[in-house]
Amino acid sequence: MLKALQCEIIQRDTELKDKVFHTVYFGGGTPSILTIRELEKLISEIYKSFKISTSPEITLEGNPDDLTKEFLDSLKQNTPVNRLSIGVQSFHDRDLHFMNRVHSSDDAIRSIENSLSAGFQNINIDLIYGIPTMSVNELESNLALFKKFNIPHLSAYHLTIEPQTVFAYFRKKGKLQEIPENESIKQYRNIMKFADEEGYEHYEISNFARPGFHSKHNLGYWTGEAYLGFGPSAHSFDGKQRRWNISNNTRYIQSIENNKPDYYEYEIIDALKAYNEYILTALRTIWGVDIHYLEQQFGQDRCSCFLQGAKKFIDSGGLIHEKNKFYLSREGKMMADYIISEMIVV
């Protein structure tokens, strides 16, 4: 797999050749299972193949049970990784057992302590809410533990039951009951209230940051920047087309080894898709939709279409209109998916 990754990086070194990349992100999998030497090789190949800025944000996602003191000390000393995203999910063993996580709550606490001890300051913690086993009190205790460590970034995601997963099977068999919607809303309100009180900016539906600690990498996705992704299931976007690698590991490796371009698919992003993607991503952020940009990029007709669709949500309080910007209100964030689905053009 590592050889295939390195080969793909080398094979694609002419893509976006004039772009200076300001972020590198190891994730969408569990890169913390790699050795420091393996990470060094991948980072070296990236630096050789592409233009990387002098002070990039380089993030490593990690499972708590992988983030030992020895690993983190070596990561800090021997690589340019300067940001960690730790998949804590919950500080309660019952929740972790329900989500089939390998680590324990003790592992989660220890991984944060180890990260801080190694000298990492730019850290994100992932927490999940809306879990059937989690009460409001348990969520609040999760937030209290998060507060104790003074971590600058929080990602809070509602449990999503994807098709063809064990959770979907359990729900079908009646072994899993999703929590009521009003309970989900209450938990989300509690997270937003906590973030406000502790000085975190709610800059995207699921993301909260102290000043200076926004995820620069994710902001690139949300603002339509071009990017390259390597490895199974990885996506890339050059401004005009999006491509994605196949998810099958064996087929991916074989195609790369045989230099066959059949390990990915792509789609052209036409004007309608570009419009919808802008609405989808912009409304999820605090910067919202810029009506001047909308008219400039997509024309008066699309602009009028947006304004017409926005009116009912402004009247109901779901959207706020200030000067040339439209963004979700606090109440609008509770039904963001619905508002966005109504605003895009089918």
Same topology for domains 20-222 and 277-343, yes or no?
A: no
Question: What is the DSSP pairing of strand 325-328 with strand 319-322?
Answer: antiparallel
Q: Is the pLDDT assigned to residue 33 strictly greater than 80?
A: yes
pLDDT tens digits, one per residue of 311-334? 999 999 999 999 999 999 999 999
pLDDT category of residue 342 using cuts at 50, 70 and 90: very high
What is the reported pLDDT for 343?
95
Q: In the predicted model, is pLDDT for residue 169 greater than 90?
A: no
pLDDT value at position 346?
Answer: 85
H or E stretch including 222?
A: helix 216-222
The pLDDT-based confidence of 105 (bands split at 50, 70, 90) is very high
User: What is the spatial distance between Cα 44 and Cα 143, in angstroms, rounded to a whole number?
Assistant: 37
Q: Where are the domains of the chain?
A: 20-222, 277-343
Q: Output the pLDDT for position 98.
A: 87
Percent above pLDDT 90 for the chain = 88
Bigger pLDDT: 134 or 195?
Answer: 195
Closest of 301, 307, 245 to residue 12, by C-alpha: 245
**pTM of the predicted protein model:** 0.94
Protein fold of 277-343:
Arc Repressor Mutant, subunit A (1.10.10)
- 245 or 169, which is more confident? 245
Average pLDDT, the chain: 95
Q: Say which residues have a Cβ less than 8 Å from residue 124's Cβ, sequence separation at least 6.
A: 59, 83, 84, 85, 86, 151, 153, 154, 155, 215
Question: Mean per-residue pLDDT for 9-20?
Answer: 95
Classify domain 20-222 at the CATH class level: alpha beta
- The predicted model gives 276-300 an average pLDDT of 96
* DSSP sequence for 315-336: HHTSEEEETTEEEE-TTGGGGH
Span 28-51, mean pLDDT?
A: 95
